Amino acid sequence: MLLGVIFCSGCGSGKKEEKPPTPVGVKAAEAYRGGGEVRYSANIQPYSRVELAFKSAGYVVGIFQVRGVDGRRRNVQEGDYVQRGTVMAQVRKSDYQAKVSQAASQLFAAKANLEHAHLDLARAKNLYAANSMTKSDYDKAQARYGEALGSVGAAAAQVKEARIALEDASLKAPVASLVLKRKVEVGDLANQGTVGFMLANTEEVKVIFGISDLMLQHLKLGQSLAVTTEALRGREFQGLVTAISPSADPRSRVFDVEITIPNPHQELKVGMIAAVSVPTGLAPLAVTVVPLTAIVRSQTRPEGYALFVVEEKDGKKIARCRDNVELGEVYGNVITVTKGVKIGEPVIITGATLVIDGQPVRVIPPPER
């Protein structure tokens, strides 16, 4: 009996634990009217970014204020929109006002000296004409007048320079902009060249996406394209192709395309995901498509591709490899499958590289939108 207990205990301890099912994301293969147009995911970016820097150094004594959600005034911050010419920050002006006054005084003195030299030159001309002054003295009077005239010009330039420095004590927004970042506070000592704000010009926005070399023939500069976003459903924005990259990205092998869209009401926000429709000029065809993330390399054909579908077996969900798939055209983020899968079959789109044929899987429901 003791030997039997020991034997049974040994059998129990040697039992192998069953591996839990691999979690995967699934989406049914769909019918797609391909050929007429190709849709691409794109990213919305500002038309331009500006590093607003101080030209006149000094202590920051004021920052532009807006009314907050609580009704109280607060310093401008990230996400606020400012108009062109808005004084974003201001350094202490007293030093620059003193320099303007000093330069103005020097200009006044230079003008008085010029007037005196002008009178001396007029008298010298009369005396020289009457042969009552030597040529040497007459030349000296002309030289003094020239020096006085030059002094006035130099003093006027100093006044202009001092006034420009005084004007630059106020840091102004060059265009209507979205504030991306504020880098100064009241009391900071700003040096010449210190960046006070990061601004983005969003009066127009750029939509950036990448296309393959096969699609380049369907795009040209100045072409109008339709752009949509999930955030503004039912709205379609028209933009113009303003730039096409002359070379492909060495890693992704796609060409960046830039579309510019007017954004006067600030509806399109920086960072939004957009969809761009690129017409191909071909008649639409009904095809079966799956997401690009579903495609994996074939294990039996070095140059081939495969995908996994989910099947039911004995009440369990099993991953089954379709190693004989044939692929067709790419339409944005999906690809045509001409052989190997049917419309409606559940295809693994997340975790396809982590499973093998016959492996139990657990289907993760898609996130709520």
Asked if 326 and 287 touch (Cβ cutoff 8 Å), the reply is no
Please enumerate, as own/partner, the contacts of 145-148 that have beta carbons within 8 Å and a separation of 24 or more.
Answer: 145/114, 145/117, 145/118, 145/120, 145/121, 147/117, 148/110, 148/113, 148/114, 148/116, 148/117, 148/118
Residues 157 and 180 in one domain: no
Question: What pLDDT is stored for residue 366 in this prediction?
Answer: 76
Question: What pLDDT is stored for residue 283 in this prediction?
Answer: 57
Sites in the chain below the pLDDT cut of 50: 1-15, 369
Task: State how many domains the chain has.
Answer: 4
Residues 80 and 182 in one domain: yes
Asked whether residue 116 is domain-assigned, the answer is: yes
The β-bridge relationship of strands 224-229 and 237-244 is: antiparallel
Residues 84 and 135 in one domain: no
**Structural domain of residue 349, as residue ranges?**
22-34+286-364
Question: What pLDDT is stored for residue 13 in this prediction?
Answer: 46
Question: What pLDDT is stored for residue 9 in this prediction?
Answer: 42
Asked whether residue 12 is domain-assigned, the answer is: no
Residues 205 and 270 in one domain: yes
Residues 179 and 240 in one domain: no
Q: CATH number of the domain that 112 lies in?
A: 1.10.287.470
Residues 86 and 178 in one domain: yes
Asked whether residue 269 is domain-assigned, the answer is: yes
Question: What pLDDT is stored for residue 1 in this prediction?
Answer: 39
Question: What pLDDT is stored for residue 285 in this prediction?
Answer: 67
Q: Of 233, 248, 282, which residue constitutes the final position of a domain? A: 282
Q: Which amino acid is at 368?
A: E
* Interval 268-321: pLDDT, tens: 988 888 989 888 766 566 789 999 999 998 888 878 899 999 999 888 999 999
Q: What is the pTM of this model?
A: 0.55
Q: How far is CA 142 from the centre of its chain?
A: 62
